[in-house]
Structures are given as C-alpha cells and as structure tokens.
Amino acid sequence: MTSDRDVPYGSMVLVPGIITLAVTLLRLTGERLGWSKALFSPEAGGGGALVGIVWLVPVFGVLFALRLTRMGHGPSGVGKPLGLALAAFALCTVVIIAVHNLALAFLTQLVVVCAASLAAIAIAWKGWPALARTLLVYGIVARVPVAAVMLVAMLGDWKTHYDVAPPDVPATGVMAKFLWIGLLPQMTVWLYVTVVLGMIAGAIAYAVAGRKQPAAA
C-alpha cells in the first residue's frame, strides 16, 4: 500500500517553483521599469495585470493532478475532491462578501478572511490529500519569495503593487504594514487561492483525462 507521504513533493514543485520565481522577478522588473501597465500594473492588488503568478495556479494544479494519478496517488473518484474544493471556494467567497458588506474595520476583515482561508484549505484537503499537500508545498515555495520582495519594496518605497497599500489600510509603520498586507495574506489567503483553485483545476483534469490512470491504493 502506498502512502501520500511517499510522494516526492520537493522534486514535484522544484521546476514549478523556479518558473514561479522567474515570473515574480519579471513582474517586479516590469513594474520598476514602468513597462506596460496592462502587463505589469503597479496598482494596489495588482490591477489584474496579465503577468502574475496567480495565473500559474490552475496550470500547475492540472499538471500535479495528472502526475499524482500516474504515480498511483489519484482519488477514488472526482466527486469528493471537486465537491469539497468548490465548497471551500464557496465558503471563502461568502465570508469575503459578508465582511465587505458589513463594513468591518480593516484588521477585523483581515483576521476573518485569513481564518476563513485556512478553514477552506482544511475542507478542500480532505477531497484529495496528496494534491492538496503538493499544492500547499508549491504555494509556500511560490509565496515566501513574494513576501520577501514585498518587505524589500516596502522598505524602499518602490511604488509597486508589492508595497502600495489599498486605500482602506490604516497608515502605519513599515513592519506593521508588511504584516497586514504582506506576510499574513501571503501565508493564508494566497495559499488558499493556490490550494483550492489548484484542486478545482486538478479535479476537472482528473475527470477529463486522468480516470484511466491507477487510483490511490
């Protein structure tokens, strides 16, 4: 019997991690040099820029899912991983809409959304643990460098999306600002995005192309 812990998570995320780091550095360069704002928007939150690592999540979610299935670590069916991932996504969406409509204080919104993000990861995890763990490892590899870039950008006041705060963020010192809009969101909200959206994409890929591969023992 194989175990999900037998999966070589480090080697699986190595190349995706390098690609993601390259995109992060490319985006930072584009913003610093004033390249096209459609591609490298310096606005708070990123302004929907076309160059960004979030677009890699579904791509790697699919690749991880298919590779895990070929290794014998696929799910027993598509219903559970897809259903739980969608439920996790719905939970976070409802929470985000609720805290916005309630006009809660920024720090209260932050704490609630971060907690909901962790809860969503836990919910989705049960649907396909091997894929969730792979995506979590990848998410950490992807997001730790972003957090580091954000800290340096804030210290240097670079006027990029990595250091410009949204208008509802209270004025504060650099380290508090980094904690509020850098470290906490990167290690909770963006990990949720990576795990849950990656699992949705991966479960769909499994349904379409992976069912003929061996399932988990």
For residue 217, tell me if it sits in a domain.
no
Q: How far is CA 7 from CA 81, 91, 140, 149, in A?
A: 18, 29, 17, 30
Give the pLDDT confidence score for residue 211 in this predicted structure: 62
Does the structure show a pLDDT above 90 at 152?
Answer: yes
**Is 199 part of any domain?**
yes
Q: Among residues of the chain, what percentage have pLDDT more than 70? A: 95
Among residues 58, 87, 90, which one has the least CA distance to residue 204?
A: 58
For the chain, helix (H) and strand (E) counts, in that order, are 9, 0
- The first and second tokens of residue 132, run together, are 């969730």
Q: Is residue 216 part of a domain?
A: no
Q: Which pLDDT score, from 0 to 100, does residue 2 have?
A: 54
pTM here is 0.93
Tokens read off for 97: 């809409």
User: How long is the chain?
Assistant: 217
List the domain range (segments joined by +) for residue 139: 4-210
End-to-end CA distance of the chain: 6
Tell me whether residue 215 is in a domain. no
Q: How many domains does the chain have?
A: 1
pLDDT of residue 1: 38
